[in-house]
């Protein structure tokens, strides 16, 4: 593998050269010698580690045109999609998911952890399609797969076995969805027992509603501690914390921190799906990210859904999700935007255990170069991702051209 030299990029606020070889960052320093490497001049542009999607559903992407949208009193997004899933073929899933991944790479994503739905409707067809993509895109995008029970596990006699089969075929995470079963604790128990037996980490879609009686994240944290799985559980959504009384919320957050739970917020979907029946003071439905971060939790943001009834305008561009987050989570002050991109880079990588990740010597050369000086400008202007680099090789080069003509007074 040839070596690559990024000249004069902005790293941690300072101009630095980056020398890349053997797929890794060899050196980061001001005024390095290019030493025969291929040179890319990125003068004054922000260099970040590649974006990391931690919670995304490529298998049910691009199906908004196959069904109706959400409306008050109408079927839920889960119901609409469950019906469509019966018709999914391996090739159909493959084509739609591939489109998601190509878009994600073009927009700076170098690692993606995706949910693969496994249930009586779609059986293992998603597993087959996504594993095909995992192999085909291996040099371009690291794809981690979650065996995910979107429909719950107690409605039929096959889902539990199919989930175990998915793990046996090489999926590396197990994903639950407690609110899809009547007995949420029994659901959570089964996932912990199965994850322990098979030695895999866990992800839950958790506390998505505004009904505190349905709270599960405290129980999940308790179980993670009791079973020695601290740091090996990620939770998506966590919208419900927002409606708890502050004293109870503090208790839950303390427990989540003890369990080293990673929180993944999905703001675009929350904004589209939540609070459909509110007649005033419409609930935002997004996890209180600033507060959770302040409390010492590892928080990340991810895309979740792409062009389906959950998020008809969903798009796997994490810079866009950062802007949505700034808007909806009151994180748009300059000092907040300075760290907001950590939620789609370093924090996200930590949540899913990506090794050798970051902008330091010895780390994997998974990088994105943005057409901006700093994070705030990148978010505000939705800056172009000029280069996306995976394992030390350019996998996307993007240019945005525009011509502005200032005319004299006519
Ligand atoms: Zn999801």
Taking only the tens place, the pLDDT of each residue in 101-133 is: 999 999 999 999 999 999 999 999 999 999 999
Going from the Cα of 365 to the center of ligand 1, the distance in angstroms, rounded, reads: 29
* pLDDT above 80 for 250: yes
Q: Which is nearest to 59 in space by CA: 93, 106, 15, 83?
A: 93
Going from the Cα of 50 to the center of ligand 1, the distance in angstroms, rounded, reads: 21
Question: DSSP letters along 252-309, please?
Answer: HHHHHHHTTPEEEE-HHHHHHHTTTT-SSS-------HHHHHHTT-EEEE--B--SBT
Q: Please give the pLDDT value at position 72.
A: 85
Please give the model's pTM, rounded to 2 decimal places: 0.97
Query: What's the rounded Cα separation, in Å, for the pair 192 and 185?
Result: 11
Going from the Cα of 199 to the center of ligand 1, the distance in angstroms, rounded, reads: 23
Q: Please give the pLDDT value at position 73.
A: 86
Q: Which is nearest to 212 in space by CA: 186, 254, 175, 249?
A: 249
Report CA-CA distances (Å) from 392 to 160, 219, 236: 40, 42, 31
Going from the Cα of 305 to the center of ligand 1, the distance in angstroms, rounded, reads: 7
- The H-or-E segment that residue 214 falls in is none
Query: What's the rounded Cα separation, in Å, for the pair 327 and 35?
Result: 44
Going from the Cα of 236 to the center of ligand 1, the distance in angstroms, rounded, reads: 7
Q: Please give the pLDDT value at position 35.
A: 82
Going from the Cα of 3 to the center of ligand 1, the distance in angstroms, rounded, reads: 38
Q: What angle do CA 194, 265, 221 make, to 5 degrees?
A: 40
Going from the Cα of 227 to the center of ligand 1, the distance in angstroms, rounded, reads: 25
Q: Please give the pLDDT value at position 1.
A: 59
Which two structure tokens, joined as six digits, stand for 45?
A: 């542009």
pLDDT (tens digit, 9 = 90+) per residue, 28-62?
999 999 989 999 999 999 999 999 999 999 999 99
Provide mean pLDDT across the span 289-304. Answer: 97
Going from the Cα of 203 to the center of ligand 1, the distance in angstroms, rounded, reads: 10
Report CA-CA distances (Å) from 353 to 11, 18, 25, 144: 23, 24, 19, 11
* pLDDT above 70 for 307: yes
Going from the Cα of 387 to the center of ligand 1, the distance in angstroms, rounded, reads: 28
Query: What's the rounded Cα separation, in Å, for the pair 17 and 8?
Result: 5
Q: Please give the pLDDT value at position 2.
A: 72
Which two structure tokens, joined as six digits, stand for 107?
A: 């927009």
Query: What's the rounded Cα separation, in Å, for the pair 202 and 217?
Result: 13
- Listed in sequence order, the DSSP H helices in 147-278 are 159-168, 184-198, 217-226, 246-258, 267-273
The span from the first CA to the last CA of the chain, in angstroms, equals 58
Q: How confident is the model at residue 8 (pLDDT cuts 50, 70, 90)?
A: very high
* pLDDT above 70 for 292: yes
Q: Please give the pLDDT value at position 197.
A: 97
Average pLDDT of every residue of the chain = 97
Going from the Cα of 281 to the center of ligand 1, the distance in angstroms, rounded, reads: 25
Going from the Cα of 57 to the center of ligand 1, the distance in angstroms, rounded, reads: 6
pLDDT (tens digit, 9 = 90+) per residue, 201-241?
999 999 999 999 999 999 999 999 999 999 999 999 999 99
Going from the Cα of 304 to the center of ligand 1, the distance in angstroms, rounded, reads: 5
Which two structure tokens, joined as six digits, stand for 64?
A: 């908004």
């Amino acid at each position: 593998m040839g070596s690559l030299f990024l000249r004069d990029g902005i790293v941690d606020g300072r101009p630095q050269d980056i020398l890349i070889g053997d797929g890794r960052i060899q050196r980061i320093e001001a005024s390095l010698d290019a030493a025969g490497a291929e040179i890319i001049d990125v003068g004054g542009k922000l260099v970040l580690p590649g974006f990391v999607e931690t919670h995304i559903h490529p298998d049910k992407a691009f199906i908004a045109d196959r069904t109706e949208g959400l409306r008050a009193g109408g079927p839920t997004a889960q119901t609409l999609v469950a019906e469509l899933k019966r018709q999914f073929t391996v090739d159909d899933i493959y084509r739609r998911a591939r489109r998601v991944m190509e878009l994600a790479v073009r927009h700076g994503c170098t690692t993606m952890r995706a949910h693969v739905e496994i249930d009586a409707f779609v059986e293992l067809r998603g597993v087959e399609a996504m594993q095909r993509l995992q192999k085909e895109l291996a040099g371009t995008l690291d794809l981690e797969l979650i065996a995910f029970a979107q429909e719950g596990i107690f409605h039929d006699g096959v889902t539990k076995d199919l989930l175990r089969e998915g793990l046996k075929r090489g999926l590396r995470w197990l994903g639950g969805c407690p609110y899809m079963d009547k007995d949420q604790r029994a659901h959570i128990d089964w996932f912990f027992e199965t994850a322990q037996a098979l030695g895999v980490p866990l992800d839950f879609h958790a506390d998505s509603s505004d009904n505190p009686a349905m709270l599960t994240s405290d129980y999940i944290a308790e179980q993670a501690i009791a079973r020695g799985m601290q740091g090996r559980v990620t939770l998506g959504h966590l919208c419900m914390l927002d409606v708890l009384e502050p004293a109870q919320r503090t208790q839950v957050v303390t427990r989540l921190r003890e369990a080293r739970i990673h929180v993944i917020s999905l703001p675009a979907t929350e904004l589209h799906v939540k609070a459909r029946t509110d007649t005033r003071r419409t609930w935002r439905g997004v996890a209180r990210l600033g507060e959770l971060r302040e409390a010492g939790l590892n928080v990340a943001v991810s895309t979740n859904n792409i062009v389906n009834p959950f998020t008809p305008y969903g798009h796997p561009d994490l810079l866009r999700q950062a802007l949505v987050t700034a808007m909806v989570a009151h994180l748009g002050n300059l000092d907040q935007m300075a760290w907001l991109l950590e939620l789609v880079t370093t924090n996200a990588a930590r949540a899913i255990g990506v090794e050798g990740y970051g902008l330091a010597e010895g780390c994997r050369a998974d990088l994105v170069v943005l057409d901006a000086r700093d994070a705030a400008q990148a978010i505000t202007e939705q800056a172009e991702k000029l280069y996306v680099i995976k394992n030390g090789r350019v996998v996307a080069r993007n240019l945005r051209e525009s011509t502005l003509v200032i005319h004299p007074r006519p």
